Amino acid sequence: MRKLILHDEGGLRWTVYGRDPERSDKVIDTNEYLISSPDNLVMLDPGGTEIFPAVVAAVSEDIDVGAVKTFVCSHQDPDIMSSLPLWMGLCPEARIYLPWLWSGFVAHFGHEYVDRFVPVPDEGCAIPLGGSLADLRLIPAHYCHSSGNFSVYDPNSRLLFSGDIGAALMPDSQSELVVTDFAAHVRYMEGFHRRWMPSNRAKQRWIERVRELDVARLCPQHGALFEGEDVGRFLDWFEKLEVGSAVA
């Protein structure tokens, strides 16, 4: 599994793990993110059961995985969180932030962990990082694509974890972790967004929210990350795209 440190300053480190060359070609490729801070260890969208051994092996090279305190699940899909029962066995202190809308559904993965759920209200919430760091902010991203869905913004590093927004289905031959040619990258995003994003109105609301933030890098759960001017290029492209339109 490849990894890239996205930020490492003032006691705050963001690392992305992904593009596992050993992954079964039956499962969609995913990115998992770890945030290490003075008072918290946070995993964003920890991934599916199928890739759990590879993710644990990669993350345990950097931290004591049993010390992860916080999991954030942007929404309910199996590629986001079907590994949770396995993680809960490893991380006795961990709590799970997830959209309130899905808590009763996600409990089907293992109801014994429900008392560790933090159901996030529709307007979002903050997650403390400790020290002098600003809190993480869960930003509403409902219907993009899931009906209960959040992005995660870190004002310290100016990184925005966008979940399935900005996702690209890239061939294994394209192993880059950061977009280098936006125009060429569009071909890997277009079908995904047209089919999995159902609402132009919801899409527009999310874009408005993100434009109010100062984003250095936009970090999706599938495919490569956008940085610098490509963040704005992505928002402009997404704004023009008619979504919910891939079914004849």
List interacting residues with Fe ion (CB under 5 A): 77, 79, 164, 221
Round to whole Å and give the CA distance between 192 and 194. 6
Round to whole Å and give the CA distance between 40 and 30. 23
* Comparison of 117 and 192: residue with beta carbon closer to Fe ion: 192
The CB-of-87 to Fe ion minimum distance in angstroms stands at 17
* Comparison of 144 and 231: residue with beta carbon closer to Fe ion: 144
The CB-of-76 to Fe ion minimum distance in angstroms stands at 8
Residue at shortest CB range from Fe ion: 77
Total count of residues recorded for the chain: 248
* Comparison of 32 and 79: residue with beta carbon closer to Fe ion: 79
* Comparison of 29 and 154: residue with beta carbon closer to Fe ion: 29
The CB-of-199 to Fe ion minimum distance in angstroms stands at 14
The CB-of-196 to Fe ion minimum distance in angstroms stands at 7
The CB-of-77 to Fe ion minimum distance in angstroms stands at 4
Round to whole Å and give the CA distance between 100 and 52. 24
* Comparison of 77 and 230: residue with beta carbon closer to Fe ion: 77
Q: Which residues contact 212 (CB under 8 A, 6 or more apart)?
A: none
The CB-of-79 to Fe ion minimum distance in angstroms stands at 5
Query: Could you please report the per-residue DSSP string of 50-103?
Result: GGHHHHHHHHTTTS-GGG--EEE-SS--HHHHTTHHHHHHH-TT-EEEEEGGGH
Round to whole Å and give the CA distance between 144 and 165. 7
Q: Is 116 helix (H, G, I), strand (E, B) or coil?
A: helix
CA distances from 50 to 26, 30, 208 (A): 10, 11, 35
* Comparison of 99 and 124: residue with beta carbon closer to Fe ion: 99
